[in-house]
Chains A and B, each alone.
Chain A
Amino acid sequence: MFVINCPYCGERDQSEFSCGGEAHIVRPKQPTELSDDEWAEYLFMRKNIKGVQFERWNHAHGCRKWFNMVRDTSNDKIHAVYKMGEKPPVL
Chain B
Amino acid sequence: MTKYRISKTRFVDQTKTISFTFDGKTYHGFEGDTLASALLSNGIHLVGRSFKYHRPRGIISCGSEEPNAICQINDNTDLTEPNVRATEIELYDGLRASSQNCWPSLSFDIGGINNFISPFIPAGFYYKTFMWPKGFWKKIYEPLIRMSAGLGKSPTQPDPDIYDHKHEHCDVLVIGGGISGIISAKLAAKNNLKTILIEDKNILGGSTIYQNNKNFIIDNQKSNEWLINEISELEKLDNLTIKTRTSLAAFHGYNYLLAKENISDHLPLDKKRGIIRQRLWKIRADKVIVAAGAIERPLVFHNNDRPGIILANSVKKYLDFYGVSTGLNNIIFTNNDSAYETAVSLFEKGISVKIVDIRKKSSSSIVKNAQELGIDIYWHSTVVNTFGYKKIKSIEIMNLSEDGSNVTGNKNKIHCDCLAISGGWTPMVHMHTQSGGKLDFRDIDQVFVPSEKGENHINVGSCNGDFELEEIVKNTINKVKKFLNINEDGFDKISVLCSKELEKKNIWLLPNTIAEGKTKSFIDFQNDSTAKDIKLALREGFKSIEHVKRYTTTGMATDQGKLSNMHALGIIADTAGVKMGTLGTTTFRPPFTPLTFGSIVGRSVGKFFDVVRKTSIHEWHIQNNAKFENVGQWKRPWYYPINNENFHEAVQRESKAARDSAGILDASTLGKIDIQGSDASEFLNRVYTNAWSKLGIGKCRYGLMLNEDGMVYDDGVTTRLGENHYLMTTTTGGAANVLYKLEDYLQTEWPELDVYLTSVTDHYSTASICGPNSKKILKKLFPNKDFSDEAFPHMSYQDAIIDKIECRIMRISFTGELSYEINIESRYGKSLWESCIEAGEEYKITPYGTEAMHLLRAEKGFIIVGQDTDGTMTPIDLQMDWIVSKKKYDFIGKRSLYRSDTIREDRKQLVGLVTDNPNEILEEGAQIVSELDKKPVEMIGHVTSSYFSPNLNKSIALAVVKGGKKMKGQKLFVPMENKNINVTVSDFIFLDKENKRIHA
Contact = CB atoms under 8 A, between A and B. Distances in A.
Interface in B419-440: 436
A31 B894 contact: yes
Contacts of B389: none
A30 B895 CA distance: 9
Nearest to B745: A27
Interface string A6-35: 000000011000001000001100111010
A31 B890 contact: yes
B900 interface: yes
Contacts, number: 53
- CB-based closest 5 A-B pairs: A31-B895, A1-B256, A2-B254, A66-B747, A1-B252
A36 B253 contact: no
Contacts of A85: 751
A84 B747 contact: yes
A66 B751 CA distance: 11
Nearest to B254: A2
A30 to B, nearest CB: 8
B889 interface: yes
Contact of B895 (A2, A20, A32, A56): A32
Contacts of B109: none
Given A31-B890, A32-B894, A40-B899, A3 B751 contact: no
B254 A66 contact: no
A43 interface: yes
A36 B900 contact: yes
Which of B254, B894, B900 has the most CB atoms of chain A within a 10 A radius of its CB?
Answer: B254
A82 interface: no
B443 interface: no
Contact of B709 (A30, A43, A64): A43
Contacts of A43: 708-709, 896
Given A32-B889, A39-B896, A66 B744 contact: yes
22 contacts: A1-B252, A1-B253, A1-B254, A2-B256, A3-B284, A20-B744, A27-B708, A31-B890, A31-B894, A31-B895, A32-B889, A34-B895, A36-B899, A36-B900, A39-B896, A39-B899, A40-B899, A43-B709, A64-B743, A65-B747, A76-B253, A76-B436
Contacts of B436: 75-76
A2 B900 CA distance: 42
B740 interface: yes
A43 B751 CA distance: 20
B867 interface: no
A49 interface: no
* A interface bracket (residues with beta carbon within 8 Å of B): 20 to 34
B594 to A, nearest CB: 21
Interface in B238-259: 252-254, 256
B432 to A, nearest CB: 14
Interface of B: 252-254, 256, 284, 436, 708-709, 740, 743-744, 747-749, 751, 889-890, 894-896, 899-900
Contacts of B709: 43
Contact of B748 (A13, A32, A36, A56): A56
Contacts of A26: 749
Interface in A49-70: 56, 58, 60, 64-66
A68 to B, nearest CB: 9
A40 B744 CA distance: 20
A39 B889 CA distance: 16
B254 A84 contact: no
B254 A60 contact: no
Given A1-B254, A1-B256, A27-B749, 13 more contacts: A2-B256, A20-B744, A26-B749, A40-B899, A58-B740, A58-B743, A64-B743, A66-B743, A66-B744, A76-B253, A76-B254, A76-B436, A85-B751
Nearest to A32: B895
Contact of A2 (B253, B743, B744): B253
Contacts of A76: 253-254, 436
A27 B749 CA distance: 7
Nearest to B746: A66
Contacts of B890: 30-32
Which of A1, A2, A3 has the most CB atoms of chain B within a 10 A radius of its CB?
Answer: A1
B254 A58 contact: no
Nearest to A1: B256
Contacts of B889: 32
Contacts of B708: 27, 43
B744 A58 contact: yes
A56 to B, nearest CB: 7
Contacts of B899: 36, 39-40
Contacts of B743: 58, 64, 66
Contacts of B747: 65-66, 84
A40 B898 CA distance: 12
Nearest to A78: B254
Contacts of A13: 284
A79 B887 CA distance: 45
A66 B894 contact: no
Nearest to A38: B895
Nearest to A4: B254
B767 to A, nearest CB: 31
Nearest to B894: A31
A3 B254 contact: yes
A62 to B, nearest CB: 13
Nearest to A44: B709
Contacts of B256: 1-2
A78 B408 CA distance: 61
A84 B900 CA distance: 33
Contacts of B749: 26-27
A10 to B, nearest CB: 14
A3 B256 CA distance: 9
Contacts of A64: 743
A3 B740 CA distance: 22
A43 B893 CA distance: 10
A27 B743 CA distance: 15
A39 B740 contact: no
A39 B220 CA distance: 79
Contacts of A75: 253, 436
A67 to B, nearest CB: 9
Given A3-B254, A40-B899, A60 B744 contact: no
A51 B942 CA distance: 44
A75 B252 CA distance: 11
A14 B256 CA distance: 11
Contacts of B253: 1-2, 75-76
